[in-house]
């Protein structure tokens, strides 16, 4: 029996090695740690649930949704709600995705080709690099400065030499949390020969807003998501821009990618968006308090953030032990040490409620 199982596995392995691309087999899947029983401060989620009366109304709305039929392919009610709460002009098209990750992939697919390059400052959102690898694109990461600022001269030089088909600019940047300044961003967009996508996943936590820049640049698209404001479980991202771009990208979208339940829940949430705006403003306040408290702790370098997380750097070689110590104490944060050379000894902490942040600090302080 053992010999038969070994022979069977050998046959499977031989076919996998023959038919799955070598570069894919060398990759690791995106890691999502088990957070069971832990205070979850690792994934930039809104910690607040909905008020009980709003939950009851939402459940009643979902009771009228029938899942025996396919969803509307364009989710018009969701788009109408997004236009209203985000003040999106009718000139611009909206393309919805199963989270912004799907849209990043669709955008890259639309411009991918032999010798085509995807570019982004680094460190930034890891999916830019991963999706470029999936599609066989050349990926160029342009290093940020020691303080995680854009090195404009270096960025412009690489744009000139690489002629990227696609540039992603995350503002605020993940995982550093900072903004890079309008002048630098405009210079990059103006120098880009191809498409530039401004990834505004964390726009709810900053005053920076680049939607109006669509009037200025024909090669710009805006990417947003509802995940960070309190709807992470819906997986709903949106791409905003000129129909000339979105029409082509939409050809690559799989049909019915936004299900009936997601459309109904998102439409309801957008009709009550003031609740999420209030929660977001509370998180901005908590971010300021948490940043101040972290800066008061010894042996931590704390980076100011415009997002719903705070990046910290520990003393050399201590990040792993602190991460594990927090986990042992029931608190899960993100260990970035080892993910990128510029993030050595770094940890990323999601801003939680006042009670959650207090629990984090109690657990963290004796570990330093």
Crossing angle of helices 52-62/260-271, nearest 10°? Answer: 140
What is the average pLDDT across 150-179? 98
Strand 236-241 vs strand 93-98: parallel, antiparallel, or unpaired?
A: antiparallel
Q: Is it the case that residue 31 has pLDDT exceeding 90?
A: no
Residue 5: pLDDT over 80: no
Paired tokens of 49: 């649930």
pLDDT at residue 232 greater than cutoff 80: yes
55: exposed, middle or buried (Cβ count in 10 Å: 0-12, 13-18, 19+):
exposed
Tokens representing 291 are: 């940043």
Q: What is the pLDDT of residues 191-202, one digit of tens each?
A: 999 999 999 999
pLDDT tens for each residue of 327-350: 999 999 999 999 999 999 999 999
Q: Who contacts 228 (Cβ-Cβ below 8 Å, separation ≥6)?
A: 44, 45, 46, 201, 202, 204, 205, 307, 308
Q: What is the pLDDT, as a whole number, of residue 1?
A: 62
pLDDT, residue 148, reads 98
Q: Are 177 and 347 in contact (CB under 8 A)?
A: no
Locus of tokens 């596995």: 9
What 3-state DSSP class applies to 97? strand
d(CA 177, CA 245): 28
Name the average pLDDT for the chain: 96
The band of 27, judged by pLDDT with boundaries at 50, 70 and 90, is confident
Over range 355-367, report the average pLDDT: 98
Q: Of all residues in the chain, what percent carry a pLDDT higher than 90?
A: 95
Say whether domain 25-44+275-367 belongs to CATH 3.40.718.10: no
Q: Please tell me the pTM assigned to this model.
A: 0.95
For the chain, give every domain's residue range.
25-44+275-367, 66-271
CA distance 238 to 228: 13
Task: For residue 16, name the pLDDT band (cuts at 50, 70, 90).
Answer: very high
The residues, any chain, with a CB within 8 Å of residue 26's CB and separated by 6 or more, are none
For residue 212, what is the DSSP state? G
pLDDT digits (tens, 9 = 90+) for 33-84: 999 999 999 999 999 999 999 999 999 999 999 999 999 999 999 999 999 9
Question: Are the CB atoms for 185 and 171 separated by under 8 Å?
Answer: yes
- Residue 349 tokens read as 């902490």
Q: Which neighbouring-strand residues pair with 168?
A: 197
Among 353, 357, 344, which residue's Cα sits nearest to residue 292? 357
Would you state the pLDDT for residue 301?
97
**pLDDT confidence of residue 198:** 98
DSSP labels, 48-69: ----HHHHHHHHHHHTT--SSS
> Which of 355, 270, 288, 326 shows the shortest CA–CA distance to 86?
270
25-44+275-367 with 66-271: one CATH topology?
no
Average pLDDT over residues 15-23: 94
Q: Are 163 and 193 in contact (CB under 8 A)?
A: yes
Q: Please, which residues have CB within 8 angstroms of residue 30's CB and are 6 or more apart in sequence?
A: 126, 127, 130
By C-alpha distance, which of 119, 163, 112 is closest to 141?
A: 119
> Residues 6 or more apart from 329 whose CB is under 8 A from it?
363
Tokens of 258: 């936004």
Q: Write the burial class of residue 70 (CB in 10 Å: 0-12 exposed, 13-18 middle, 19+ buried).
A: exposed
35: tokens are: 């957070």
Q: Can you tell me the distance from the alpha carbon of 317 to that of 301, in angstroms, rounded to the nearest whole number?
A: 14
Contact 222, 240 (CB under 8 A): yes
Instruction: Average the pLDDT over 144-153 and give the result.
Output: 97
Q: Can you say how many angstroms the Cα of residue 17 is from the centroid of all Cα atoms in its chain? A: 32
Tell me, what's the pLDDT at 62? 94
Does the domain formed by 66-271 have CATH 2.40.128.110? no
């Amino acid at each position: 029996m053992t010999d038969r199982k070994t022979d069977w596995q050998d046959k499977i392995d031989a076919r996998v090695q023959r038919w799955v691309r070598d570069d894919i087999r060398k990759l690791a899947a995106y890691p999502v740690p088990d957070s069971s029983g832990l205070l979850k401060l690792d994934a930039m989620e809104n910690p607040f649930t909905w008020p009980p009366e709003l939950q009851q109304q939402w459940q009643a709305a979902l009771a009228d949704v029938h899942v025996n039929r396919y969803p509307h392919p364009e989710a018009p009610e969701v788009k109408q709600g997004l236009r209203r709460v985000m003040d999106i002009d009718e000139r611009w098209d909206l393309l919805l995705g199963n989270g912004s990750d799907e849209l990043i992939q669709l955008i890259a697919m639309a411009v991918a080709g032999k010798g085509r390059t995807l570019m982004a400052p680094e460190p930034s959102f890891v999916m830019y690099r991963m999706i470029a690898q999936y599609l066989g694109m050349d990926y160029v990461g342009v290093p940020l400065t020691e303080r995680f600022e854009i090195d404009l001269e270096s960025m412009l030089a690489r744009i000139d030499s690489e002629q990227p088909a696609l540039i992603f600019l995350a503002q605020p940047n993940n995982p550093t949390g900072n903004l890079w300044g309008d002048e630098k961003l405009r210079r990059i967009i103006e120098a880009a020969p191809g498409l530039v996508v401004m990834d505004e996943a964390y726009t709810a936590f900053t005053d920076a807003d680049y939607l109006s820049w669509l009037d200025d640049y024909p090669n710009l698209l805006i990417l947003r998501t509802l995940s960070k404001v309190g709807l992470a479980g819906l997986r709903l991202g949106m791409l905003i821009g000129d129909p000339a771009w979105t029409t082509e990208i939409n050809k690559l979208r799989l049909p019915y990618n936004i299900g009936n339940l997601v459309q109904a829940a998102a439409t309801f949430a957008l009709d009550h968006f003031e609740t999420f705006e209030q929660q977001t403003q509370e998180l901005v306040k908590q971010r300021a308090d948490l940043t101040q408290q972290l800066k008061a702790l010894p042996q931590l370098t704390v980076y100011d953030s415009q997002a719903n997380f705070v990046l910290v750097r520990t003393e050399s070689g201590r990040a792993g032990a602190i991460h594990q110590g927090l986990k042992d104490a029931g608190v899960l944060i993100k260990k970035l040490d080892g993910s990128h050379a510029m993030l050595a000894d770094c940890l990323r902490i999601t801003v939680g409620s006042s009670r959650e942040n207090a629990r984090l600090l109690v657990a963290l302080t004796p570990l330093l």
